[in-house]
Chains A and B, each alone.
Chain A
Amino acid sequence: MTLLEVKDLSISFLHYAKGSRRDKTNVVDGLDLEVHEGEIVAVVGASGSGKSLLAHAVMGILPKNVLVSGDVSYKGERLDAARLKRYRGTEIALVPQSVAFLDPLMKVGEQLHAPADGREQAAERRTLFQKLKLSRQTEKLFPFQLSGGMARKVLFSTAAVARTRLIIADEPTPGMHESDVREALARFKSLAEKGCGVLLITHDIEAALRIADRIAVFYAGTAVEIARAEDFSGSGEQLRHPYTKALWRALPQNGFEPLKGAGQASGPAVELGCPFGSCCGSATGRCAEGKPEPRELRGGWVRCVHAS
């Protein structure tokens, strides 16, 4: 069953341009994405390509000066204010990036206990704490007293209770030791095995490939390709979009080719034509004519006129 469905999502900021004029910058542009039950979908892309905004848009916690259009549905129903209120913190959970997302003046134990939580969740968390090798003492600490690893476990345990159906994890692995990364990923994997949908947002394509079923590749505010994890193999012949191929080949074990157009990925969306056009080796005149429409291809999905 489809848990999360994002259709034609665009996010843009209002800001001051030169003088006293105000301008609009598109950060996410025409994004489509689906997450099914028991599935891990990874969203990969350069830092600043609008991935975190996607997470915040789904949770309905974007700042006020942000314009959003498009549709977000959960279990086939439009996720409007009332449904968000019902599902947020119960069925849909966010695992944030860092300890800065915890109230600095609230003890961990008190903070873990969300308003919607009952005795059942408290007991679940206690077991989870044992499993994660967090002592009971941890509950009495303030967030600033947590070590990096402890903080990650605490953040993870806010979401990982049985009633959660959909987890959105925003950069859960950066700056972690290899062993910690493996452990963190294993946790998400085990949640998915219990039927939970996981949207894993990361810039670490290798980490994503280890557990994800499908990978959405972000470029200039939109998904240029959605591929199955097994498509990332060999020299990337199975991949559909030139940017994805370039990303794949830029990995150390795949040739370490320098990535062109990496800067573009974090800039504002290009108005006309394929956003990757200026950096693409196989670009032709057709690429500049308009934005490529998304189309199905070999069990995946791509925004490129040339892909076959």
Chain B
Amino acid sequence: MIRRHMLQAAGMNTGIPRWNGRIRTAISVSGAIALLAVIMLGSRLMGSEGLAVSLEERNMAPSPAHLFGTDWLGRDMLSRTVKGLALSIQVGLLGAACSTLIAAVMGLAAATLGRAADRCISWLIDVSLSVPHLVMLILIAFVCGGGMKGVAIGIMLTHWPSLARVVRAEALQLMSADFVLVSRKLGRSRMWIASRHLAPHIGPQLLVGFLMLFPHAVLHEAAITFLGLGMSPHQPAIGIILSESMRYLSTGMWWLAVFPGAGLLLAVWAFDRIGGHLRRLTDPGSVRL
């Protein structure tokens, strides 16, 4: 028994200086950031010639000239994928940032404005969580008449509740901390307390929350666009590319669906990893969305 313990521990021991958890975290986070930088920069630098229609080069399987192949109009799938990802990331960033802002305001308001406001906001959170995200997104996209606006507003309005709950709980805990109680006794206003005392403590939570929301936002953007309720067909969005590819699946043009989808998967996965690692580093186990 004792020997076994020694062996187990010794096994862990062999890799001590080079490959432990923290170094792996640092490596995977920088890798993920590099990937996203490549996507954003790539889409800037690539120009739009890859998106041009060229009928001589239609329906080509992946080759050195067109790594991801070409579609039925001869457009380069690599360019389309990178552009699509960049667009999805932008919409995701916008949606997730606004969602985080809403969550912060709602959470802080619930914690500072008294019982009635708290009840009201908590109820609003419950209501928002009780309609499936995708159904709500479809409804909002329909209300906005589709397009990028619809998607962005939809994501904004559907993703905040879970983070708002976290913020509210955290802020409520802070409200009963001594330094806040003293401030209240001194007659500081609620705004003052929320901005001076609560906001600095909530900051890291919000950053992590934002990073956790972002992948969801990107996936939902792609989904709603795929369903035909999001971005317009003229924009090079991943959802558009994939829904178009469905028509050509039976002809065996696998590259139309495989590469753009894999690209989306990789980008989402990268951000998800950053969020996950950062969460564990800042505060193990407290922010769970």
Q: Are A71 and B2 within 8 A (Cβ)?
A: yes
Q: What is the bound-complex CA distance between A72 and B13, given in angstroms?
A: 23
Contact of A14 among B9, B23, B26 (CB under 8 A): B9
Asked if A22 CB lies within 8 Å of chain B CBs, one says yes
Q: Which residues of B have CB within 8 Å of A20? A: 20, 22-23, 26
0 or 1 for each of A47-63: is its CB under 8 Å from B? (1 = yes): 00000000001001010
B interface majority secondary structure: helix
Q: Are A68 and B22 within 8 A (Cβ)?
A: no
Q: Which residues of B have CB within 8 Å of A21? A: 16-17
Q: Are A69 and B13 within 8 A (Cβ)?
A: no
Nearest CB of B to A28, in Å: 12
Q: Are A66 and B20 within 8 A (Cβ)?
A: no
Q: Which residues of B have CB within 8 Å of A79? A: 1-2
0 or 1 for each of A1-41: is its CB under 8 Å from B? (1 = yes): 00000000000001010011110000000000000000000
Q: Are A22 and B1 within 8 A (Cβ)?
A: no
Asked if B234 CB lies within 8 Å of chain A CBs, one says no
Q: Are B1 and A69 within 8 A (Cβ)?
A: no
Asked if A70 CB lies within 8 Å of chain B CBs, one says yes
Asked if B12 CB lies within 8 Å of chain A CBs, one says yes
Asked if A231 CB lies within 8 Å of chain B CBs, one says no
Q: Are B2 and A72 within 8 A (Cβ)?
A: yes
Q: Are B4 and A67 within 8 A (Cβ)?
A: no
Q: Are B1 and A81 within 8 A (Cβ)?
A: yes
Q: What is the bound-complex CA distance between A84 and B4, given in angstroms?
A: 12
0 or 1 for each of B9-33: is its CB under 8 Å from A? (1 = yes): 1101100110010110010000000
Q: Which residues of A have CB within 8 Å of B12? A: 14, 65
Q: Are A66 and B5 within 8 A (Cβ)?
A: yes
Q: Are B23 and A68 within 8 A (Cβ)?
A: no
Q: Which residues of A have CB within 8 Å of B45? A: none
21 residue pairs from A and B, CB less than 8 Å apart: A14-B12, A20-B23, A20-B26, A21-B16, A22-B16, A22-B17, A22-B20, A64-B8, A66-B5, A66-B9, A67-B6, A67-B9, A68-B6, A68-B9, A69-B2, A69-B6, A70-B2, A80-B1, A80-B2, A81-B1, A81-B4
